[in-house]
Structure 1
Amino acid sequence: MATSNAPPSDLLLSEVIQTIFEAIHATKNVHLQNENFKKLSLYLEKTAFILQELIKLDINDSGSLLSAINELNKHVSEAKTLADQYTNMNRIYLLLNSKKTVTSLEKNTKDLGAALNLFAPLIPANGVGEEIVNLSKIMSDSKYRITFAEDDIMDKIELAIRERNVDRSYANNLLVSIADAVGISTEQSVLRTEYEGFRHEMEKMETTADVPETLQIEQIVGLLGKADIIATAEEREKKYFSKRNSLGRQPLEPLQSFYCPITGDVMEDPVETPTGHSFERGAIEKWLTEENSLCPVTKTPLKSSALRTNKTLRQSIEEWRDRNTMIVIGSMKSRILSEDEEEVIICLGKLKVLILERDLHQEWVMMEDYLPVLVSLLSTKNSEIRSHVLVILRILATNHDDRKESIAKTDDAIKLIACSLARKIEESKLALQLLTALSDNDLARNMIANTQGCILLLVTMSGSDDPQAANDAKQLLDNLSSVNQNIVQMAKANYFGPLLHLLASGPESVQLLMVETLSELEMTDHGKLMVCENGTIELLIPMLSHNDIDMKKAAILALEKLSGVPQNGLEMIRQNATEILLGILFRESLSNPILVEKIVAIVMNLALSLTSPEADQMENLFLESEEDVFKLFSLISLNGPNVQQNVLRTFLAVCQSASGLNIRNTLRKICSVQVLVQLCEHENQTVRSNSVKLFCTLTKDGDDEAFMEHVGPKCVDTLLKITNTSDSIEEAVAAMQIISNLPRKPQMTQWIHEAGALRVIISILSNHFHKPEIMVESASGALCRFTISSNQELQKKVAETGVIPVIISLLDSGSGLTKKNIAVSLGQFSESSNSLTRPVEQKSSLFACCFGSPDMGCAVHSGICTTESSFCLLEANAINPLVKVLDEPDFGACEAALDALLTLVNGEQLQKGSKVLEGGGAVAKMVKLLSSPSVRLQEKALVALERIFRLPEYKQKYKMSAQMPLVEITQRGSSGMKSVAAKILAHLNVLHEQSSFF
């Protein structure tokens, strides 16, 4: 932080950084455009990081610097204002202005980039300067996008305004789409509040907008205002009865102009010809396509391109239909209550047709208070009337929670519906469907569960000979089981109990029916567990060996369904299901592809169960023999994509289980790598992705020779293509990880380099802000193969790309694994520095001794060093970032950073290198590492300090701080570490002082 004594520029930069953090915080609270504001936030975070680095550089104040700071601050404030607007303004207003927002974001980002670029000439061209130039370029090229949903809504609004669409259902659907897009509830009160806020925002805009924009504002407000869902139920009902009472009692005949001259029917979508005649669109288009080129009425030439929608006529027809429908719905209720059953059936049929036409008609039926009338008809003796009523009630209930509650509250409704469960199968199925629809509502579900006899009727239906009825009854029982524990127990005792009893001891025909029912039953994971707790698995597994093929198939289907829950999968493994399933699989592999597909799906589920926490204490009984592994893997070459992907997923899961190492070794032994290399080019994306991931798993601890034999230039090209083009991040990362893991033999590295891998790796690392962290980790790991010190020519090619400053920056921002990989690469670079440094040229002049001092060269390597020619850590400014990594909680990153730093004190460089490490604070950090929980870090720090403490200046400085950790090692360390620690204590001349400790 800058203080009051700091230069003015540092104070101003601190203020800008504070504003940036305020803007970043504001972007996290936006209601819409989340992805776009995340992108802006990312640019702001990087800008803040650069400004913090600028404060450390001690740049001289100048007019140019202050001007750059003020320009940047202006645009940062604009970004914060933009984010604040998206936090506080009306959401509908923001959505409809999304295109303007995208334009503003792009302009602001470009302005930020241009302002940031003003700092570039004021600081050195390397380091922070390069970061500024790179970030400025990225920001200047940055593009933002509106979402598909936002674009779709804007298109619908423009279409409605252009065609003057006044349909209320269109406006309702549009408003619901807007609510979904902006993340608000579709409840009437919420929509109404949001719409009123939007209208208020638009009214404020009208005062400043020009005439065309004002007209568009009025049109949008008017369009959304037609949505009746923003009105209260009381307002809609008042509006409905006001209109209905003004219409009279008799439907009106259609006007002559409503009829199509071709069909003779009232038109749905009238279109007008240039001569003023209107036709049904479909009829006139058909007329013209059947080699008729003249108007049917005027006989004048007519082309289909001349037809225009007759909006006025269409609106008139719609108003006429609505008027007559209101009259019909309002007058039909009394006829439904008549004693004439035929009349009642006809009226119910008409009512069903009307409510299926439009949701608006359903609302009118509810306003006319039809529910008591309809429910009362459920007690009639006529089954056809009852069936019509059950269908109508289900239509009214579907997707309307308030109507479900209204039906449930109507006198005796649930009781009368439940009575229909006990009637003929067709009526009972309709009643079951209605109860299932109602059970989504909390009140209705409680009433169903507590209706006397209802549960018993449902349990009875769950054993029905009709599969659909039985399945629906079981599903409803599952829904009701959430009401209270008594219902759970009832379902368990009356539903699963009889089912399992019949599985165990019923006739074979009944057993087959029960197994088929179990395989078709829709169950939650909890339900699947509950079934298996009662011993189902023990009953099903013997059926796998049944002589009857239908029984065997049914058992396989049931086990497939149940095995999806890890606990069930583990129980199947304990019951030796794996061996039986594999036996069937290998026998049927060529003759029954459908059976093979189902068994492979079960085997995959069993493998996945081995990766669950419940498998930790379990003895592995899965794929124990090499023969089973070979036969199962061989199925990949004999079957289609469904089997292939499931076999691959099986081995992926098993490789992650406790026996993973053995399985991986077996897979490599049976030449699976050769098959996987081929599958990396598979046209099925899922098969290819799983192949790449399994291939990656095998490379992590594989035998070099196996991969050298089967992986060639073509395979490397394929892997790089996947990395660049795959839609799956996991697949792309796995492909890059393979490139990192492949044997580091010269031939392999040459193939990988010639395929362009280095270019891809550097692109990922250079654009790490825009890449997933796991991709950066994989790319940083792959880079290590190009930086080994045994191939200095390859090291030079890497350095010439300018990537070293980029990877050094990742020591601050990368993950623990990325930091480890980067430190390994820097260490490998540094191993070559001593041999690549250029000797300092000696001046030959006789008077050289009199004029000036000679060039002293690198403080460590004594020659001329550069980042790109000798890869010197000191010249690359890598010392401080590496020292910071020594504080990492990730021991791997810490160890790699220590190894890299210790390359500076190898051999004769001890004194010079120690001085550089001391200047960077590394020696003090090494002393701290003597107390590290990691024995490897302790040992490495110990060995390094033994050499460094031979130098008197460090021995005296660290004598006190190193003393106690060293004594602790002599007490608790390994024998080798004890010896080194005692040797250091002797260097420090404190061994005799601590003799009581030994």
Structure 2
Amino acid sequence: MAEDLEGDFNYDDQYSERFHEKAFDAFICPLTKQIMQDPVIIESGCTFEREAITKWFRECVDSGKKPICPLTQKELHSTDLNPSIALQNAIEEWTRRNEAVELNRASTSLTPGGLDREILWALGYIVHFCRKNDANKNAVRDLGFIPMITEKLKNSSRTVRSKALETLRVIAEDNDENKEAVGAEDSIRTIIKFLSQEPSQDRELAVSLLYELSKSEILCEKIGSVYGAILILVGMASSKSENISTVEKILDNLEKSEENIKQMAENGRLQPLLTLLLEGSPERQLSMGSYLGELVLANDVKLFVAQTVGSSLVNVMKSGSIQAKEAALKALNQISSNEASAKVLIEAGILPPLVKDLFTAGIKQLPMRLKEVAASILVNLVSSGADFVVIPLDDNNQTLVSDETVHNLLHLIRNTGPAIECKLLQVLVELTGSPHLVTDIVTAVKSSGATISLIQFIEAYQKDIRAASLKLLRNISPYMGNELADALRGSPGHLGSLVKVISESDTIFEEQAAAAALLADLPNRDTGLTRQLLEKGAFRIAASKVVSIRNGETRINRYTDPFFEGLVVVLSRVTYALQDEPRCVALAREYNVAALFTDLLQMNGHDKVQIVAASALQNLSQESRRLTRIIKPPPPPGLFKRCCMKPPLLDEICPLHKGICSVRENFCLLEGKAVEKLVSCLEHRNEKLVEASLGALCTILNDGVDIAEGVLALCQAEGIRPVLDILIENRTELLQQRAVWAVERILRIDEIAKEVAGDPTVASALVEAFRNADFVTRQIAERALKHTEKLPNFSDTLQKIG
């Protein structure tokens, strides 16, 4: 049925001529042919509608004629208009009788169960009735029509719903009491639902009605209290909908309510809140500042807020009351968490008052809850990457990285609660994370004697404090390795806590990665510390976890690589104490670390792991000769024994070490198939990896082993040419030293020496080393040149090696 009702209805025309009681002819204006509202008598004695006869006289004058009566056509000497009060009273009484009948019918039509056509007639009549005068709007309210009409907003016919929306808008126009009546009960929620529809006539009418209702301050709060109302309106405003101008007016009206302003800010419409923050009363500024601190803002919004009210918030923080400072600090904490907005706040001068508030003690100090917020802001600011070396904090040009400031931070860390401790440790973490600033912080830490205090936080109960202290210690450990080693060696409990951290969970967290990196940065030749780590089980844990990660048995996350690298370095520490600590030899054998480090050489893309593995293999290989089981020839047996004795198996004898070798027992590179893998690293672009790999290969050419067999092993691994290339390229001083040393050993083999003698680039590289290298390398280069007969053997002391 609804489809049959679609279309436009001219209700004013429909109802202007519809009466239950016939009108007298005297009620009709001769000009308009309509019932008069304001009848007046002119000089001729005829009665007309005031507006109509006034227009008639004006047209006469405009046409250059004298005024005449429209009915008698007689010229008039006067255009005076005299109200016909008696006639007007009669018309009004007649109108009231007819309206009463029509209103009664409308009321009947709007009762539940009425036909849609009757409902539409009733709504149309009420619109017509209300447009006559304001008093009629009051009558509609008093007669109880408003609840009946709002009920029609739920009608199944779209035409009825649309007409109900239009009728309510007409009723509410310029009538505050009617607005409140329309907004009673749950009608606001029903009207809001129309806004969520696709663009349609219903939505357009709902927007118009809501605009009328929003003019009431009482209803503003009610509109805002409907769940999702402001979100929908803000969305419509930002999406440039067809009703955008009206929607904007609604939102402007809703700003009368402070709660609505907060909701708008929460949904991305921040300007009203910021305007109050800048221009509102002190109470409203405080309220808006506090709420701004509670909002979760996107980064671009944070930047906008910082640019708009950042300076004002900083000023409040400087000189406001405690309540105002609290609101400002909370807001600044929110917007400073974005790098760009943090830099805007730094330019606005936030650092000096912020640091002052943190360090001020006594009766003028901030409450601890606000110092915690200030510390959070400082964390955000130092994360921005600003150049804090050039940002003064006072007239003495102290900066955030000056010794005095860092000393104050360290003092505050030691003498405050856990929450602020954690934040200030994070400040130092951020500062030491910058290569540009870390040396200043390290200098201040050393001069303050705070190393022990920082290490003590490793055992803090709060996980966040432990993690922050570990990250800080990890950042400064490359610059304070010896100091940290001394402190940890003197405090076995803290060292044990570090070991416990790396062993705690199968899942790798940032705290574990920091602990592993810290242990990795400690001096690896500190035998005393190595012994303590042995006793704490650090190397067993490191070996097990390295194998687990390498075998894919551990879940990978962003902390896996730094954790793994740290563990590999920690494990390599064992190889630096093989001579002094038998337990290190036993552990290396138990976990077959030579084979493990050989395997790690193949971790392409993990340069640090490969470098550490090559260095560890160098240390292990240097001990191979000492740990080789040498087979002594037995005394000559008797005739019977010579006949019965089994001949020795030559395959069991290592050609390099002339004994029984294995990769597990004496870390032999030949047995572990490590030579080929080390040779493959010689062509790497990372010079540190090439240096480490060449250093490991040099151990098979050392005195005490069969050099010829070492050269043969190198040759079989196709390593001669890469070593010569390293010599020729002369990339670093250490590479030149090691290459010259290795080449001299290789050239002791006549066949190779003869072949190399024909390569002028090798000879040139050796001559370059002979002329410009350090004293020891020049001597070795001289010997190498003599092997190729490029220099005469004046001393005649070299022995020929066949």
TM range (shorter): 0.5 to 0.7
Please give the per-residue CA displacement for 1:210-257, whole angstroms capped at 9, x wherever unaligned: xxxxxxxxxxxxxxxxxxxxxxxxxxxxxxxxxxxxxxxxxxxxxxxx
Give the Cα–Cα distance (whole angstroms) in 2 for the partners of residues 959 and 459 of structure 1: 92
Query: Counterpart in 1 of 2:753?
Result: 955
Q: Kindly indicate whether the alpha-carbon contact (under 8 Å) linking 2:191 and 2:210 is maintained by their aligned counterparts in 1.
A: no
- SS of the equivalent of 1:873 reads coil
Give the Cα–Cα distance (whole angstroms) in 1 for the partners of residues 167 and 758 of structure 2: 97
Within the candidate set 477, 484, 507, 1:699 is matched to 477
Q: How far apart are residue 947 of structure 1 and its match?
A: 1.7
- SS of the equivalent of 1:623 reads coil
Pairwise mapping of residues 469-868 of structure 1 onto structure 2 (< 5 A)?
469-476=260-267, 478=269, 502=278, 519=293, 523-533=297-307, 536-546=309-319, 548-574=321-347, 576-588=349-361, 592-610=367-385, 615=386, 619=390, 622-657=399-434, 658-710=436-488, 712-726=491-505, 729-744=509-524, 745-768=526-549, 769-771=552-554, 772-788=560-576, 789-804=578-593, 805-813=595-603, 815-845=606-636, 855=650, 857-868=653-664
Query: Counterpart in 1 of 2:50?
Result: none
From the two aligned structures, give the one with the greater helix fraction: 1
Q: Kindly indicate whether the alpha-carbon contact (under 8 Å) linking 1:695 and 1:738 is maintained by their aligned counterparts in 2.
A: yes
1:423 and 2:216 are equivalent in the alignment: yes
Q: How far apart are residue 858 of structure 1 and its match?
A: 2.3
Pairwise mapping of residues 883-894 of structure 1 onto structure 2 (< 5 A)?
883-894=679-690
Which stretch of the first structure deviates more once superposed, 826-835 or 795-804?
795-804
Give the Cα–Cα distance (whole angstroms) in 1 for the partners of residues 376 and 115 of structure 2: 56
Q: How far apart are residue 763 of structure 1 and its match?
A: 0.9
Query: Counterpart in 2 of 1:452?
Result: 245
Amino acid at match of 2:190: I
Q: Percent identity over the alignment?
A: 21
Please give the per-residue CA displacement for 1:160-218, whole angstroms capped at 9, x wherever unaligned: xxxxxxxxxxxxxxxxxxxxxxxxxxxxxxxxxxxxxxxxxxxxxxxxxxxxxxxxxxx
Specify whether residues 515 and 705 from structure 1 end up closer, same or farther in structure 2 by C-alpha distance, changes over 3 A only: closer
Amino acid at match of 1:559: L
Give the Cα–Cα distance (whole angstroms) in 1 for the partners of residues 680 and 451 of structure 2: 41
Q: How far apart are residue 844 of structure 1 and its match?
A: 2.0
Q: How far apart are residue 764 of structure 1 and its match?
A: 0.8
Q: How far apart are residue 605 of structure 1 and its match?
A: 0.7
Specify whether residues 431 and 555 from structure 1 end up closer, same or farther in structure 2 by C-alpha distance, changes over 3 A only: closer
Please give the per-residue CA displacement for 1:37-78, whole angstroms capped at 9, x wherever unaligned: xxxxxxxxxxxxxxxxxxxxxxxxxxxxxxxxxxxxxxxxxx
Q: Kindly indicate whether the alpha-carbon contact (under 8 Å) linking 1:739 and 1:752 is maintained by their aligned counterparts in 2.
A: no
Specify whether residues 947 and 547 from structure 1 end up closer, same or farther in structure 2 by C-alpha distance, changes over 3 A only: same
Specify whether residues 530 and 867 from structure 1 end up closer, same or farther in structure 2 by C-alpha distance, changes over 3 A only: same
Query: Counterpart in 1 of 2:741?
Result: 944
Task: Compute the TM-score of the two structures, normalised by the length of structure 1.
Answer: 0.54
1:924 and 2:721 are equivalent in the alignment: yes
Specify whether residues 808 and 938 from structure 1 end up closer, same or farther in structure 2 by C-alpha distance, changes over 3 A only: closer
Amino acid at match of 1:786: V
Query: Counterpart in 2 of 1:869?
Result: 665
Please give the per-residue CA displacement for 1:296-353, whole angstroms capped at 9, x wherever unaligned: xxxxxxxxxxxxxxxxxxxxxxxxxxxxxxxx9999999999888697877899999x
Q: Kindly indicate whether the alpha-carbon contact (under 8 Å) linking 1:417 and 1:435 is maintained by their aligned counterparts in 2.
A: no
Q: How far apart are residue 452 of structure 1 and its match?
A: 1.7
Q: Kindly indicate whether the alpha-carbon contact (under 8 Å) linking 1:942 and 1:981 is maintained by their aligned counterparts in 2.
A: no
Q: How far apart are residue 852 of structure 1 and its match?
A: 5.4
- SS of the equivalent of 1:683 reads coil
Q: Kindly indicate whether the alpha-carbon contact (under 8 Å) linking 1:673 and 1:710 is maintained by their aligned counterparts in 2.
A: no
Q: How far apart are residue 783 of structure 1 and its match?
A: 0.6
> Is there any run of 5+ residues in structure 1 with no aligned partner, and where?
1-327, 353-363, 398-402, 480-490, 993-998
Specify whether residues 638 and 921 from structure 1 end up closer, same or farther in structure 2 by C-alpha distance, changes over 3 A only: same
Q: Which has the larger radius of gyration?
A: 2
Pairwise mapping of residues 217-236 of structure 1 onto structure 2 (< 5 A)?
none
Pairwise mapping of residues 195-234 of structure 1 onto structure 2 (< 5 A)?
none
Specify whether residues 736 and 432 from structure 1 end up closer, same or farther in structure 2 by C-alpha distance, changes over 3 A only: same
Query: Counterpart in 2 of 1:273?
Result: none
Q: Kindly indicate whether the alpha-carbon contact (under 8 Å) linking 1:758 and 1:783 is maintained by their aligned counterparts in 2.
A: yes
Q: How far apart are residue 405 of structure 1 and its match?
A: 2.9
Query: Counterpart in 1 of 2:133?
Result: none
Task: Compute the TM-score of the two structures, normalised by the length of structure 2.
Answer: 0.66
Give the Cα–Cα distance (whole angstroms) in 2 for the partners of residues 533 and 933 of structure 1: 55
> Is there any run of 5+ residues in structure 2 with no aligned partner, and where?
1-110, 127-139, 173-177, 393-398, 555-559, 793-802
Please give the per-residue CA displacement for 1:819-868, whole angstroms capped at 9, x wherever unaligned: 22222221111121222223331132267999957848322223332323
Q: How far apart are residue 365 of structure 1 and its match?
A: 8.7
Q: How many residues align?
A: 623
Q: How far apart are residue 679 of structure 1 and its match?
A: 2.6
Within the candidate set 190, 213, 232, 1:438 is matched to 232
Amino acid at match of 2:545: I
Q: How far apart are residue 664 of structure 1 and its match?
A: 2.8
Specify whether residues 837 and 558 from structure 1 end up closer, same or farther in structure 2 by C-alpha distance, changes over 3 A only: same
Give the Cα–Cα distance (whole angstroms) in 2 for the partners of residues 408 and 760 of structure 1: 72
Q: How far apart are residue 632 of structure 1 and its match?
A: 1.9
Please give the per-residue CA displacement for 1:692-742, whole angstroms capped at 9, x wherever unaligned: 222322323315244423553322322222222246521112222233333
Specify whether residues 571 and 899 from structure 1 end up closer, same or farther in structure 2 by C-alpha distance, changes over 3 A only: farther
Amino acid at match of 2:533: I
- SS of the equivalent of 1:791 reads coil
Give the Cα–Cα distance (whole angstroms) in 1 for the partners of residues 160 and 791 of structure 2: 100
Within the candidate set 904, 910, 914, 2:711 is matched to 914
Give the Cα–Cα distance (whole angstroms) in 1 for the partners of residues 112 and 376 of structure 2: 54
Give the Cα–Cα distance (whole angstroms) in 2 for the partners of residues 692 and 579 of structure 1: 28
Q: How far apart are residue 371 of structure 1 and its match?
A: 6.3
